[in-house]
Structure 1
């Protein structure tokens, strides 16, 4: 109500201003005709007229009324260059700030609520460099100042910052207009003030902040590099440390553009994904799923069969899958692509020099124009009392440890309810282990919507996993051959005996052993970088898990493009990393895939969304495959088909997500998906059907009523009355 009242008052003032022809007083002709009277008033009471003039100027500016330019001329004519400049400088800034505050009060919340997702990058840029952007705009009078006032009110820039930057930025233009006002008699039109040459001068002046910013960055870089002698010549254009997804793609891109690049890896090519994560876990999941299907063959009209298998052979197959994919990431392949590969441990000596302790014992020093750190992450092992005594495996070590076993661990405790813990818990349960999963949080997969977590928990429990949420691991105990994990639940302790403890509570970036501390490169769980993946030193970049914010192989590869291009061509053009559309999949059965917002995040961020859901038990292909469970859930802008986020739970969810990722990346809405032909019968039809559900919910009901009347008329029927007296 307060906003409505304020808006009404402002509208009344503006209407009155034009209704009583007051705007004519603020034209050049009106000013000239009344100048003699104004001067006599000013001569009689200078302080009163000066104060009244200031207040009137504030009012005109605050209401964004036309005439501020003429009033600036009047200030020069009435008060001279000095006092005219002082009055206008303060009056224009105060008025601009009031317009800014009115815009913020009336429109900011509504605009941010409706367009907050689209404005995220703008808001972040304003928070970081708002003063710089505003100063640049204020120096260039080509941009209407009243529009700048109103638009800035929609951003998160601080009021104090807006005020002082506006006063400083508008000073040059104020001086020009006030000075012109001192020669008012010679002016025939406002265009005489802002000639093309003067506008060009202002435009050049507007470049000053950009030049100044560039100079400041050069000065800052010189200060950072001051204690290190820069080589006159460089051995390489780029050195990449780490041969995981981020490092491999970075090196590949550099070689593709004919840069001289060296890739350094201390252990295995392919990094965690190939050797310990994505590849081996998915191979294990496939074997476990087949064993599960054999036990439930009756579901497909066959006889249930208890699968007989050697656990050692299952793990052997995992290693065979790794070996088959290894050539894709091998030293030989990358050398053929033009990448020099060195096996050894890399350490930063200075911002351009890397010391390499090769695995053959030799030491090598290389200099490079740019360096990319892609050192990856490792499993986090919680500091539980007694954990070293009882022993444990992680998602990295289990593949070698379990290769020694003839059968799956009889009693396996999985510590952690995230994606890795859930995938492995289900797989080992299907391969015959008695699995207990311990999660401290109220539910597993805590980042997903509650309905997704509950469905995942039900699926795991159906496969025999004992899922213990709200259970905090306290310590490990060992008594002879007996090993147990002590947990707390509802204030009580209980023991969980196990044969093998699997730690799957997350991964932490590899930050030690690369010389980061010596160079002062800031770390905070990950290496701290800017939007261009630059560290403290503009020629040293980070990509992949070690840089965050996502620990996905595909995100590491995505970052690698930015790291490579900014490292090699940043002197011409640098690119900010785009994290707007990042998908991920949790490969339990059924799979869980997501991109963008879910309902939980939308609530936390206060973003209004509309939810459309399609149940997969209605999909023909899901029914024929005996996997009719799960759903496709799409969040859109209320009343619009623009996709804000998608969650899919079901068979091949990760594959189905690709269409939505493409749509979100290129601004395609649900109407476009609905209008795309999907082959029948396929799982991809689920995407079309959820779009159809949205369309049905937004059918034009009034038009349909009239269409029904039209078709009745075409058949020769007169309109009939419903029982509720509505005409059809």
Structure 2
């Protein structure tokens, strides 16, 4: 801070001296014409000294962002002639501009990063991608004040070297015009003689040239990309969508809604993973497990406790695990009509059940379920193939057999009892949900996580809370345990893990791999078309692949593998695919919520503490203990918290994490607030029904308000009310 103060004082001293010694009078048109004869005499006597002094003076004026650089540019033509003047000013202006750029960066950027880190990050990403292009365009148009460009660019992450050479090249045309005008100084009455309307329009057109050039280059590149294929003269469809999960269903629905001719191709089950293997069946399992847990702890509600175990020994309410699994199938069946072929056909979508593969950028070959093959062409194509469970390359894994979140439903459907000994590999959301559910249904569950804690993306205190919730449900949680192999000894299956240099054998009847999901990339013809598929399909901000008429959305793209994000992306993919020739929309990832459905639930939107620290974002933390909420107490679920991150001293919400029985539902209010820029004061000023879980949000806002109460005003009010007591 001290260094910055010194630099600031030095800059003020230099600027003050400039005006104190009336040097600014030299940088007027009248002053230039009056002093031209004297300058010429000096130059004749000491050409190198005058040229060097002029160069340094120009650098100083530009670096300090003082008025008069334009006059100096004209003066260079009058003093040194066209080519020498152009040489001097070209380098002096670029060097001075770069110094101004560096001063602005040193003095202001760190402060701005602390206050506007999120917005500045987005700007920096754009500058990293197109900064040189934008700067070059601005340099061609002298309508924009160059000193302002120097300062503003200094606040971005643009490299100083890039700034210098782009400025050197970009300002050359304008510099030539003014230096050349200076050679005719005697014939000019004012700068208006240079900056005529026609001249300004010429500069404006010059500034637009890079945009036209960029568009032309883009067109040439596209023609080059598509050169090896013959584009159809007519298309069968406006849009073809491959994959009927969340992204595919939503994008085809949108296309049909705007009366486009759209075909949706699905190789397996409508509704994709979420309906058939993921969100829906897992939440049905979680509900059954929670009921079993409630029965086991019924005394908490003044009722007789029962032990709902599948073996029927000493229980008042035995249950069949097979019936639990049958209920899950029924839940899927009840929801399936929402995603069915019949429904989407009625909406105007042609649904084909088969495998779709790209033959060229416009042609899809469909191998139908009955073996027939047909080809369709479309102007645009959306790949929404989703993701699948990742299976780690553990030695012996195939020999012992394993289940995934996709296969366990069918594999366990006919069992009267849940697996006696169950090992779950993975401490992320899927692993935690399954571990707690099976433990509550009677399995002896061991959960193995290689990291030092479960739910590693959450704050440490949130992870610790989840850990306690799992262990209280009967899960044996082993963190910092690395799975190294599987083996069979005396007909018993084992997972061998390593912990602190020791090998530990974990016996199991069933092993569930829940270590993450990987995008489905093979079999769609993407690689054959040259579309990059490194872990996911690579797209730009508009969800376009390398070939701009082919889009991708959902888990196959990432970066968030959530059903609601897939649906969110689908809108952008569909609209850009159908109307991108008029207007394209960048995907908005600013406010993404998610929930882990353990009991109590863990829900989050925005950044948490560990992310704020990693990104260097200043924040304040406000907490409300769910144990203080009346409704939580009445429901016997008084555990958890609402944790809100805000900007220091402000009520602007940066992120929220909630642990509570209905955390996923409670989070919606904060999602809405963040999406529309509403702060905690607005939430505090909103009426919430009593007694409801939603009051937790208002009480959290109240905690923030209490912490930011105006102490001085309250002290004055206390004195005022004390005075009023005197009558």
TM-score range, shorter chain: over 0.9
Q: Offset of 1:148 from its aligned partner?
A: 0.7
Q: Does 1:474 align with 2:484?
A: yes
Instruction: Quote the residue 1:720 is aligned against.
Output: none
Q: Offset of 1:480 from its aligned partner?
A: 4.6
Q: Does 1:357 align with 2:367?
A: yes
Q: Offset of 1:446 from its aligned partner?
A: 0.3
Within 1, Cα distance between the matches of 2:19 and 2:52?
24
Could you list the per-position Cα deviations for residues 183-229 of structure 1 after superposition, in whole angstroms to 9, with x for gaps in the alignment?
Answer: 22333333332222222222222111111111111111111111111
> How do 1:478-489 residues align onto structure 2 when only pairs under 5 Å count?
478-489=488-499
Q: Secondary structure at the match of 2:427?
A: coil
Could you list the per-position Cα deviations for residues 361-410 of structure 1 after superposition, in whole angstroms to 9, with x for gaps in the alignment?
Answer: 10001111111100000001111111111111110001111102111111
Could you list the per-position Cα deviations for residues 204-256 of structure 1 after superposition, in whole angstroms to 9, with x for gaps in the alignment?
Answer: 22111111111111111111111111111111111100000011111011111
Within 1, Cα distance between the matches of 2:590 and 2:341?
33
> How do 1:1-80 residues align onto structure 2 when only pairs under 5 Å count?
1-80=2-81
Q: Does 1:580 align with 2:590?
A: yes
Within 1, Cα distance between the matches of 2:190 and 2:296?
90
Instruction: Quote the residue 1:672 is aligned against.
Output: 682
User: For 2:541, which of 504, 521, 531 is the aligned residue?
Assistant: 531
Q: Secondary structure at the match of 1:364?
A: strand
> How do 1:336-351 residues align onto structure 2 when only pairs under 5 Å count?
336-351=346-361
Within 2, Cα distance between the matches of 1:662 and 1:204?
43
Please list every run of 5 or more consecutive structure 1 residues that lacks an aligned counterpart in the other structure. 718-728
Instruction: Quote the residue 2:340 is aligned against.
Output: 330
CA contact (8 A) 1:602 1:609 kept: yes
Within 2, Cα distance between the matches of 1:205 and 1:681?
66
Could you list the per-position Cα deviations for residues 659-704 of structure 1 after superposition, in whole angstroms to 9, with x for gaps in the alignment?
Answer: 1111111111111111111111111111111111111111111111
Instruction: Quote the residue 2:139 is aligned against.
Output: 138
Q: Does 1:116 align with 2:107?
A: no
Q: Does 1:295 align with 2:305?
A: no
User: For 1:492, which of 496, 502, 505 is the aligned residue?
Assistant: 502
Within 2, Cα distance between the matches of 1:519 and 1:250?
23
Q: Secondary structure at the match of 2:555?
A: helix
Within 2, Cα distance between the matches of 1:613 and 1:404?
46
Within 1, Cα distance between the matches of 2:627 and 2:565?
32
Q: Secondary structure at the match of 1:382?
A: coil
Q: Does 1:87 align with 2:88?
A: yes
Within 2, Cα distance between the matches of 1:672 and 1:13?
48
TM-score normalized by the length of structure 2: 0.97
Instruction: Quote the residue 1:155 is aligned against.
Output: 156
Within 2, Cα distance between the matches of 1:643 and 1:189?
54
User: For 2:703, which of 672, 693, 699 is the aligned residue?
Assistant: 693
CA contact (8 A) 1:273 1:553 kept: yes
Could you list the per-position Cα deviations for residues 432-480 of structure 1 after superposition, in whole angstroms to 9, with x for gaps in the alignment?
Answer: 1110000000000000000000000001100100000011111111135
Q: Offset of 1:576 from its aligned partner?
A: 1.0
Instruction: Quote the residue 1:723 is aligned against.
Output: none
Q: Offset of 1:170 from its aligned partner?
A: 1.1
Within 2, Cα distance between the matches of 1:248 and 1:142?
49
> How do 1:290-439 residues align onto structure 2 when only pairs under 5 Å count?
290-307=291-308, 308-439=318-449
User: For 2:513, which of 503, 515, 524 is the aligned residue?
Assistant: 503
Instruction: Quote the residue 2:605 is aligned against.
Output: 595
User: For 1:522, which of 532, 539, 547 is the aligned residue?
Assistant: 532
Within 2, Cα distance between the matches of 1:119 and 1:338?
44
Q: Secondary structure at the match of 1:101?
A: helix
Could you list the per-position Cα deviations for residues 26-81 of structure 1 after superposition, in whole angstroms to 9, with x for gaps in the alignment?
Answer: 11111111111011111222222111111100000000001101111111111122
Aligned residues: 717
Within 1, Cα distance between the matches of 2:46 and 2:56?
16
Q: Offset of 1:18 from its aligned partner?
A: 1.9
Q: Secondary structure at the match of 2:81?
A: helix
Q: Offset of 1:715 from its aligned partner?
A: 1.1
Within 1, Cα distance between the matches of 2:4 and 2:507?
64
Within 1, Cα distance between the matches of 2:133 and 2:64?
25
Within 2, Cα distance between the matches of 1:504 and 1:676?
41
Q: Offset of 1:481 from its aligned partner?
A: 3.0
Q: Secondary structure at the match of 2:359?
A: strand
CA contact (8 A) 1:632 1:686 kept: yes
Please list every run of 5 or more consecutive structure 2 residues that lacks an aligned counterpart in the other structure. 309-317
- Which consecutive segments of 4 or more residues in structure 1 shift more than 3 A? none
Q: Offset of 1:141 from its aligned partner?
A: 1.7
Instruction: Quote the residue 1:629 is aligned against.
Output: 639
Q: Offset of 1:121 from its aligned partner?
A: 1.5
Q: Secondary structure at the match of 2:573?
A: helix
Instruction: Quote the residue 1:209 is aligned against.
Output: 210
Instruction: Quote the residue 1:724 is aligned against.
Output: none
CA contact (8 A) 1:674 1:691 kept: yes
Calculate the aligned-residue CA RMSD, in Å. Answer: 1.1
TM-score normalized by the length of structure 1: 0.97
CA contact (8 A) 1:585 1:591 kept: yes
Q: Secondary structure at the match of 1:682?
A: coil
Could you list the per-position Cα deviations for residues 503-547 of structure 1 after superposition, in whole angstroms to 9, with x for gaps in the alignment?
Answer: 101000000111112111101110111111111101111100001
Within 2, Cα distance between the matches of 1:694 and 1:15?
46
Within 1, Cα distance between the matches of 2:643 and 2:579?
41
- The worse-fitting range, judged by mean Cα deviation, of 72-81 and 641-650 is 72-81
- The worse-fitting range, judged by mean Cα deviation, of 113-122 and 350-359 is 113-122
Instruction: Quote the residue 2:236 is aligned against.
Output: 235
Q: Secondary structure at the match of 1:211?
A: helix
Q: Secondary structure at the match of 2:354?
A: strand
Within 2, Cα distance between the matches of 1:301 and 1:203?
80
User: For 1:656, which of 647, 663, 666 is the aligned residue?
Assistant: 666
CA contact (8 A) 1:112 1:154 kept: no
Instruction: Quote the residue 1:440 is aligned against.
Output: 450
Q: Offset of 1:86 from its aligned partner?
A: 1.5
Instruction: Quote the residue 2:621 is aligned against.
Output: 611
Q: Does 1:224 align with 2:225?
A: yes
